Amino acid sequence: MLENRLPPIISSLLENDMYKFSMGQAIYHQFSDYKTTWTFKCRNKEVFFTPEMVEEIKAQIMLYCSLRFTEEELDYLHKIRWIKGSYVDFLRLWSPRYEDFTITNDGDCGLSIETKGTWLNTSMYEIPTLAIINEVYFRYQYDYDDLLKSFEDKLDEKIGWLTGGKYQISSFSEFGLRRRLSAEAQAMVVKKFKEADLKDSFFAGTSNVYLAKQFNVAPIGTMAHEWIMCVGQGNHKHNPAYSNWFALEAWVKEYGVLNGTCLTDTITTDCFLRDFQLTYATLFSGARHDSGDPFVWGDKMLAHYNRLGIDARNKTLLFSDNLDFKRANDLYHYFKSKAKVAFGIGTYLSNDTKVEPLNIVMKTTACNGMDVAKISDVKGKEMCKNPDYVKYLQRCIAWRMNNDR
């Protein structure tokens, strides 16, 4: 057993983003035999993980792998209206496997992590792993108490901006688990926003299911890029330019009209809209923005709804890309009369201190032995081990956009 210097960073298997459970249920019912590979990447150029940090990360992941769901936690999940008893029964038996992880001190940043195994398992590892990496780094690299003080000062200032009416952002949720300063800091965010009188803004909940349960707020989350990548590209018979159709079809099969916020930019929003026709646009309650100019994206979604004869004022535009309150305020006032507007705000709420936050990701890089990729609506957010596969995917998309009318 590896020795950890820090207390356990992940204290419950509920400490994961809600969309992992939403996707997990659909994976369990429809894609339980799929196998995936996930790869860690640090986008910060000057960040280095020391051997001591790597050993702590290993020890923390081993502690995470020793956790099991409690009956109280399973009862909580079962009360979420779209979570089914069959999936809860599966989770009663489920546990993370340390054997699925390969962790070394290789690579430019001094840390290499890859997970391989069933999609059911590896999907659940992404968020806890990133939370562990993030907290280990900041506790080892800096004076943590000093960082936490600067974090709380900035948080109180942000709350003051909403309570004082400087910004109006309507409905927003905290989405910062993967890059939070610490478990303590994220809990502080949820507690303070829940208790604050925000006037013209509304704290809707958090993506962290553990904190949603602890503070009695809504757990927020539907699907991530992995859903479109694996469902659409993991079957070797599929043309990857139609990834969104396969993903939307499987989601509706699982949830019908429930849990319906779709993600548009996995292989570009323009390609997504080819499949987001009347049936899906009617069934899904809204769409989430995660890359590219949010104003351009929002106008594009409004125009698409209009072409389909759908009143966009009944649909939600959920913005979740690199937001702060100023940007959210501007987006809200631009779109508020045209659609329902909501925000998922991550690092700005969960890791805003006197030092630069980490920009770390862990992405699916293979499914069923086949490369998968996210293209996105902007350069810099894509990730794939095989450049030739990216070129192939881009050619498929280009052919479809030019020929499939």
Q: How confident is the model at residue 18 (pLDDT cuts 50, 70, 90)?
A: very high
Query: Minimum mean pLDDT among 123-127, 236-240, 265-269: which range?
Result: 236-240
* pLDDT average, residue stretch 41-68: 96
Give the pLDDT of residue 384.
85
Contact 119, 129 (CB under 8 A): no
pTM of the model: 0.96
Q: Is the pLDDT reported for residue 308 higher than 90?
A: yes
d(CA 365, CA 37): 6
* pLDDT average, residue stretch 71-79: 98
DSSP 8-state class, residue 178: G
**With DSSP H G I counted as helix, E B as strand and the rest as coil, what are the percentages for the chain, rounded to 5?**
50, 15, 35
Q: List strand residue ranges (DSSP E) for 9-63, in order.
A: 35-42
Q: Is the pLDDT reported for residue 264 higher than 70?
A: yes
Largest CA distance in the chain: 60
Contact 362, 126 (CB under 8 A): yes
Q: How confident is the model at residue 1 (pLDDT cuts 50, 70, 90)?
A: low
Closest CA to 189 of 229, 238, 154: 154
Residue 62 contacts by C-beta under 8 Å, 6 or more apart in sequence?
Answer: 1, 2, 98
Phi (first) and psi of residue 147, to 5 degrees: -65, -40
Give the pLDDT of residue 404.
75
Give the pLDDT of residue 53.
97
Q: Is the pLDDT reported for residue 171 higher than 80?
A: yes
Q: Which domains does the chain have, with CATH numbers?
A: 144-350 (3.20.140.10)
What average pLDDT is seen over the chain? 96
- At 141 the three-state DSSP class reads helix
DSSP string, 260-314: -EEE--TT-HHHHHHH--HHHHHHS-EEEE-SS-HHHHHHHHHHHHHHTT--GGG
Query: Minimum mean pLDDT among 48-62, 246-260, 329-343, 371-385: which range?
Result: 371-385
Q: How confident is the model at residue 130 (pLDDT cuts 50, 70, 90)?
A: very high
pLDDT tens, position by position, 179-222 = 999 999 999 999 999 999 998 999 999 999 999 999 999 999 99
Helices 225-233 and 119-141: crossing angle in degrees, nearest 10, is 140
